[in-house]
Amino acid sequence: MDKNKRKKYLATGAVVLLAVLLVLLKYWDYVVNPWTRDGQVQAVVIQIAPRVSGPIVDLPIKDNQFVKAGDVLFQIDPRTFEVALEQARAELAETGNTYNALGEQVAAAEAAVESSGHAVTQAASGIKETESDLVKDRSEFNRQEEMLPRKATSQKAFQRAQATYQVSLQQRRTAIAGLAQAKANLHEAEANLAEAKANRGAAGDENPQIRAALASLKQAELNLEFTTVRAPVDGYITNLALRKGSQMVANQPVLALVDVNSYWITGYFRENYIENIAPGDRAVITLMSYHDKPLEGRVVSLGWGIAQQDGSTGFELLPNVSPTFEWIRLAQRIPVNVLITELPEGIALRVGTTCSVLVETGTAGEQTEKSVTAVPRALQ
């Protein structure tokens, strides 16, 4: 073989060797970094359930439609709840009237207590006056009684002093009886006041009847508001099987809303692959429906447990154990959650669709501007 041909073969071999080396290095890059084909697109799916029962009278949405937060999803017949609201308002007004009437009774009872108190004070003052007159009249009677045997006074003067003394005694008895009656009247007025306050309850906003009526009114207002069901977040309507006239039952889910701001990827990695995966590591996501448009993400968390099938309770409460081949040891798959950092235009994420996920270990905390390269089709 001549010298030129030898050089040509050597050059060709070097090029082929370099190409093989590059392919092996690239393949080794995907072998070293954990990857899995078992990935799924996830999102928060909100189950929309009405808060009140009734038939649908308006349904402005369609299945798979995009809605914004606050958009009306459907309207339940509000007429029953409008009537309930008017009734609650009437009950509040009636409760207010009753409260005012009871308040007037309390005011009257308070006035009676005050009047009875004045009567007690006056009766006590009257007793003091009669006691003063009694002392004076008793002294005059005693003096006349001593003077009569000595003929120092007349029989008529004696009888007059005696009569005056008897009148003073009677007035004192009457005054004492009046004080006792005034005190009894005061006790009765105080009892009536306590009863009136008990019937009225607490004053002002603390009154239990007023608070109960206000609560009923608020509940009626909320029920009327609940007849209009709105989207809590931006998202896509799915599994819509409603029509006008469909009977809604309170707190029973009737449709699903996929939150468009909550998408993430869950990759199920074999347990012998997750040793070097850490939160923050860069991830490359390749959707099966967009195999040539890779997505970039970051590992958020790794699952701490999966359901155990072997050992679960089976027939006759015995442990349920699945048979396995002794020479084959199947690795369990651990969920790894990945947050998509940037979603290119033209890619629509759908819950439950599959993808492959490759994690570049040791990149947590790194800020890289390296472009995302699609995983080779053989690994997708």
Average of per-residue pLDDT across 267-296:
90
Question: Backbone phi, then psi, for 261, in 5-degree steps?
Answer: -100, 20
309 alpha-carbon distance from chain centroid: 37
What is the CATH architecture assignment of 50-76+227-252?
Beta Barrel (2.40)
Q: Any idea which residue has 């896509």 for tokens? A: 236
Smallest Cα–Cα separation from 168: which of 141, 139, 137? 137
How distant, in Å, are the alpha carbons of 132, 247, 273, 332 from that of 297?
106, 44, 18, 24
Q: What is the DSSP string of 267-316?
A: EEEEGGG-TT--TT-EEEEEETTEEEEEEEEEEEEE-S-----TTEE-GG
Rounded mean pLDDT of 49-61?
A: 96
Predicted local confidence at residue 379, as pLDDT = 54
Distance of CA 373 to the CA centre of its chain: 46
d(CA 264, CA 349) in angstroms, rounded, equals 9
| Residue 89 scores a pLDDT above 60 | yes
Q: What percent of the chain has pLDDT over 70?
A: 88
Beta 228-230 vs 54-58: how paired, if at all? unpaired
For residue 141, which of 121, 114, 168 has the smallest C-alpha distance?
168
Q: Name the range with the highest mean pLDDT among 121-125, 153-157, 222-226, 376-380.
A: 222-226
Q: Rounded mean pLDDT of 11-36?
A: 74
Return the pLDDT at 375.
58
The pLDDT tens digits of the residues spanning 190-242 come to 888 888 788 777 877 788 888 899 999 999 999 999 999 999 999 999 989 99
The yes-or-no verdict on residue 326 having pLDDT over 70 is: no
pLDDT digit string, tens, across residues 360-378: 888 887 666 566 566 555 5
What CA–CA distance (Å, rounded) separates 117 from 138? 31
What pLDDT was estimated at residue 368? Answer: 61
Contact 183, 120 (CB under 8 A): yes
Across the range 112-118, mean pLDDT stands at 84
Residue type, 301: S
The pLDDT value given to residue 186: 80
Give whichever of 29-38, 218-227, 305-314 has the largest mean pLDDT.
218-227
Q: What contacts 175, CB < 8 A, 6 or more positions away?
A: 123, 126, 127, 129, 130
* pLDDT > 60? residue 1: no
Q: Which amino acid is at 51?
A: R
- pLDDT for 155 equals 77
Q: How far is CA 252 from CA 249, 255, 287, 378, in A?
A: 6, 10, 34, 46
pLDDT, mean of residues 319-326? 72
Q: pTM for this one? A: 0.70
Fold of 32-49+260-380: Elongation Factor Tu (Ef-tu); domain 3 (2.40.30)
Tell me the percentage of the chain whose pLDDT exceeds 90. 41
What are the tokens at 291?
């195999």
The answer to whether the beta carbons of residues 277 and 334 sit under 8 Å apart is: no
Determine the topology of domain 81-221 in CATH: Helix Hairpins (1.10.287)
Closest-CA residue to 344 (of 285, 277, 280): 285
Predicted local confidence at residue 356, as pLDDT: 92
From 92-101, 215-224, 250-259, 331-340, the region with the lowest mean pLDDT: 92-101
The pLDDT of residue 52 is 96
pLDDT above 70: residue 63: yes
pLDDT number for residue 254: 94
